[in-house]
Amino acid sequence: MADLAARSEHTFHIPVMGTAFTIDTALRVAKFGISTVISLVDDLLIEQIRKLHCERSGEPYEEIKRRDEDARARRVTSYLDLVDRLVAEQVRDLQASPFEAGTDITRYFEMLPETSLKAAYREMLATDDPTEKIRMQDDLRPLAVPGAIDVNIMTKLDRDLYRKGQKLPPEFADAMAALRGYAKSTLTSSIIFSAGMNNRLYSYAREFPDFSPDENGAIKKKIILKVSDWRSAMIQGKFLAKRGLWVSEHRVESGLNCGGHAFATTGLLMGPILEEFKDKKEQLHQTLHTVYNTARTTAGLAPIDTPLEVRITAQGGLGTAAENELLLQYYRLDGTGWATPFLLVPEVTNVDDAHLRLLSDATTDSDVHLSHASPLGIPFWTLRNSASQENRRQRILSGKPGSPCPKGHLVSNTEFTDIPICHASRAYQKRKLEEIVNDGLSDLQLAVVTEDVLAPACICDDLAGSALINNNIKPDAKPAVCCGPNIVNFSKLAALQEMISHIYGRLSLLTNPDRPHMFIRELAIYVDYLRKDFEKYSMELSTRAPKYFREFKENLLSGIEYYRTQAEKLIHEKRTRFLDDLSSLRKTLEQMTLEKMSLVKS
């Protein structure tokens, strides 16, 4: 089926990072053919950044106030329309620029991977005939197409809104309004659903015609699912297909070796997961196509004979060109995602100077940790010494823990109130600390539970901090930084062209020569994650059942065996180190047993 827009030849994308780090990355790199993702969580930030770019570009700006009718959806639509217009203007200027050193069109072609288009560009450069050179340049200009301006909705962030104590209709909930805002925008791109299934959100999408094929079979607004494994892709894909919605891409993300929120599997590792996608891609494609056509027929629409396109991509922990090629070639993926390293590329992401220094100085695993900073109760990778974390600790020391909760996007708890409040809020933490004192816990248990209560930070506000500081909107903001553990391997600021050259193997930006392979790093994080779960179980602070621990451990051991038997196919450099690391982690894992934990408990 024909696309409404040609696709850039880059084989990587820049995933969403927090709420602000990639909020306007499209305006920085889309013209170079690089696809990026905008978070739709924080509509106040979206409105602030819209005002900023209207002023910079000379576009008229009329504020959409928080209390205006359908404000959240309208803010999203207005910003995305602005980005769409500005990028289109940038691309027109780029295509018209001369093929000279340093111009945007020259940068565009120089940054491409080794494709037929790159070869055509080089052929043009080598041509001596001036007339022929101009003709070849004119042929190349329209082929410099932009990257996609995609958006992300974290499906769990679907807070119901209240007005004067009364709950508003579901379509005004956070995720629902954000979806509507995107659906009404002029963008031709994709929406990424992350964090699992949201039945009402998925069902709501079918109300907007841009998510359905036109008479030529092209979909203006495509759906991408961020998934943890093949089973999740099949379950969610079927749910959407039954509602006449096609999933154009399944974006596989490492359960723990990623930035921000980490959705751990029960020990299922990335290598075996990608192997299953490779083996069963056609089964997934055909099954969803059959379900999709059944839904179309039921709705009185003609079935589509040729299955619509489906792409499989992956992200999480990528650090070298060799790893990138492994995913593209051995696992036959259609693309990869590179996130955390781009936090050290100031022309691409919003990171303030102070936190650029902190990220550059983060060289050990203790500098970045899998924390309880998220009020959602989901493990969250964070820079340990960020301003957000320091501010949280200062509040505790002053005897006033918790945040005033200025935005409220992560409210979910109703233990103490009828209207949900946030685990990071002062209102929740004060009540919870008073409650646990009377729970009959031992001193050790009380210390652990107290630490967990105080761990959540105001990330829905603080993740906007770097963008607010950089653009002089709120110079005293306290930024949170949701980098992944991979940041410790990159300690130098880089230019966009340098980072792309690193991805494609033209140079290396790694500053940690002892960096383990991405598969080993993920495995090590999982082993440590299981160890900490074991420790809580031993203190009678875990709700996990013994079956969970056995399944988790068996899956990890199975993954280790997969890597051991496939190492010759997967690993071409430092294979001995890879196998030694596997062996060491296996020994550590085998020492974890429920019987030992039972002895500790008794």
Which residue is it, tokens 């990171």?
351
Share of the chain above pLDDT 70, in %: 98
Q: How far apart are CA 147 and CA 12, in angstroms?
A: 10
Residues 95-118, mean pLDDT to the nearest whole number:
98
Give ∠ CA 548-380-463 in degrees, rounded to 5. Answer: 160
pLDDT over threshold 60, residue 3 = no
Question: So what's the pLDDT on residue 165?
Answer: 84
Identify any residues that bridge with 251 across adjacent strands, giving them in sequence order.
226, 313
pLDDT over threshold 70, residue 597 = no
Residues constituting the chain: 602
Maximum average pLDDT range among 131-135, 411-415, 531-535? 131-135
What is the average pLDDT score of the chain?
96
Q: Map residue 556 onto helix, strand or coil.
A: helix
Question: So what's the pLDDT on residue 510?
Answer: 97
Confidence category of residue 1, pLDDT binned at 50, 70, 90 = very low
Buried-exposed string 409-444: b where 16+ CB fall within 10 A, e elsewhere: bbbebeeeeeebbbbbbbbbbebbeeeeeeeebeee
Which residue in 226, 152, 242 sits closest to 189, CA to CA? 152
Q: How far apart are CA 327 and CA 251, in angstroms?
A: 13
- By the 8 A CB rule, do 562 and 551 touch? no
Q: How far apart are CA 195 and CA 251, in angstroms?
A: 12
Which residue is it, tokens 């170079």?
32
* pTM of the predicted model as reported, rounded to 2 decimal places: 0.96
Q: What is the pLDDT of residues 177-234, one digit of tens each?
A: 999 999 999 999 999 999 999 999 999 999 999 999 999 999 999 999 999 999 999 9
- Please state, as a whole number, how many other Cβ atoms lie within 10 Å of the Cβ of residue 60: 5
Which two structure tokens, joined as six digits, stand for 483? 């980098």
Name the DSSP class of 318: -
Burial class of residue 468 (count of CB atoms within 10 Å of its CB; 0-12, 13-18, 19+): buried
Burial class of residue 212 (count of CB atoms within 10 Å of its CB; 0-12, 13-18, 19+): middle
pLDDT over threshold 90, residue 476 = yes
Q: Map residue 12 onto helix, strand or coil.
A: strand
Confidence category of residue 2, pLDDT binned at 50, 70, 90 = very low
Q: How far apart are CA 27 and CA 248, in angstroms?
A: 24
Confidence category of residue 598, pLDDT binned at 50, 70, 90 = low
Q: What is the pLDDT of residues 334-379, one digit of tens each?
A: 999 999 999 999 999 999 999 999 999 999 989 999 999 999 999 9
Kind of pairing between the strands at 335-337 and 368-371: unpaired
- By the 8 A CB rule, do 347 and 446 touch? no
Identify any residues that bridge with 150 across adjacent strands, giving them in sequence order.
37
Beta strands in 149-246 (DSSP E): 149-154, 162-163, 166-167, 189-194, 221-227
Helix, strand, coil distribution of the chain in percent, nearest 5: 50, 10, 40
Burial class of residue 110 (count of CB atoms within 10 Å of its CB; 0-12, 13-18, 19+): middle
Confidence category of residue 599, pLDDT binned at 50, 70, 90 = very low
Q: What is the pLDDT of residues 151-168, one digit of tens each?
A: 999 999 999 988 888 899
pLDDT over threshold 70, residue 5 = no
Which two structure tokens, joined as six digits, stand for 129? 């005939």
Burial class of residue 182 (count of CB atoms within 10 Å of its CB; 0-12, 13-18, 19+): buried
pLDDT over threshold 90, residue 120 = yes
Name the DSSP class of 486: G
Q: What is the dihedral of CA 570, 572, 578, 582, to 10 degrees?
A: 30
Radius of gyration of the CA atoms of the chain, in A: 25
Q: What is the pLDDT of residues 260-283, one digit of tens each?
A: 999 999 999 999 999 999 999 999
Kind of pairing between the strands at 162-163 and 189-194: unpaired
